Amino acid sequence: MTDLPATTDRKLGLVIDLDTCVGCHACVIACKGWNTEAYGAPLSDDDPYGAAPEGAFLNRVHSYEVTPETGPAQLVHFPKSCLHCEDAPCVTVCPTGASYKRSEDGIVLVNESACIGCGLCAWACPYGARELDPSEHVMKKCTLCVDRIYNENLPEEDREPACVRTCPAGARHFGDFADPESNVSQLVAERGGIELMPEQGTKPVNRYLPPRPKDQIDVLAPLLEPVAQDARGFLGWLDRTLERL
């Protein structure tokens, strides 16, 4: 079993804006691409075009139609990945110590060479954020692109998770929640960012910004009146000619 650090120097994580996410899955593809080519064992894709495709993803987007008490129904796109919980149950149940939480930044990672693929961490995670790679037979999860954010060989603007860097709607934000002046802390304070399933007691670091109320149209726009009753000129001649056919 692995002990959790009492405190962490930083609390790196994501803020996801459910109001601006358009469900395009660009974050899913960017995450798959980066984590297949970089950190750890590649994310597998077995028989991708066959009858029984199978593979591993660290980030997924679910879409739900939500009907509020007042107003029209809304389509909400809900990205889901590891929340890097402060009290991460996936870490404390790991029998080999493969799952661990870093004291310097709070990121939860998996030492794949020590993972035996028992799946206990997946059972313990209330968010379904762990996946057993069907080819490598080790547990996979979001790493916050730890190999990107500290990579000094990358330009400064690229030192953020691939999902954040690629989001065309600007719905994903990365920063340090331990810093009240950081961009993520300010977004949570301004928009009332919420944690997912707080009743589980896992203290997830990531936060979600709720959708804003949508405008309501009470009166439909009136039908436009015809510009002219009788067509003239060339269009008038063409109209009369077609009527005689």
> What's the whole-model pTM score?
0.81
**225 located within any domain:** no
| Contact yes or no for 209/217 (Cβ under 8 A) | no
**182 located within any domain:** yes
C-alpha triplet 12, 112, 133: angle, nearest 5° = 95
Q: Count CB atoms within 10 A of the CB of residue 40.
A: 19
CA–CA distance, 184 with 181 (Å, rounded to integer):
8
Domain enclosing residue 56, as ranges: 12-209
CATH number where 56 lies: 3.30.70.20
Strands (E) across 104-217 are located at 108-110, 131-132, 139-140, 172-176, 207-209
pLDDT at 191: 94
| Per-residue pLDDT tens digits of the chain, which is 245 residues long | 678 999 999 999 999 999 999 999 999 999 999 988 766 667 888 887 888 888 889 999 999 998 877 777 888 999 999 999 999 999 999 999 999 999 999 999 999 999 999 999 999 999 999 989 888 889 999 999 999 999 999 999 999 999 999 999 999 999 999 999 999 999 999 999 999 999 999 999 999 999 887 665 555 555 566 666 666 777 777 778 888 87
**241 located within any domain:** no
| Contact yes or no for 92/108 (Cβ under 8 A) | no
**61 located within any domain:** yes
Token pair in block for residue 83: 């929340």
Q: Based on the structure, what is the number of domains in the chain?
A: 1
Report the b/e string of 134-166 with b at 16+ CB within 10 A: eebebbbbbbbbbebbeeeeeeeeebbbbbbbb
Burial of residue 23 (CB within 10 Å: 0-12, 13-18, 19+) is middle
106 Ramachandran zone, left/alpha/beta (phi>0; psi -120 to 50): left
Segment (H or E) for 101:
strand 99-101
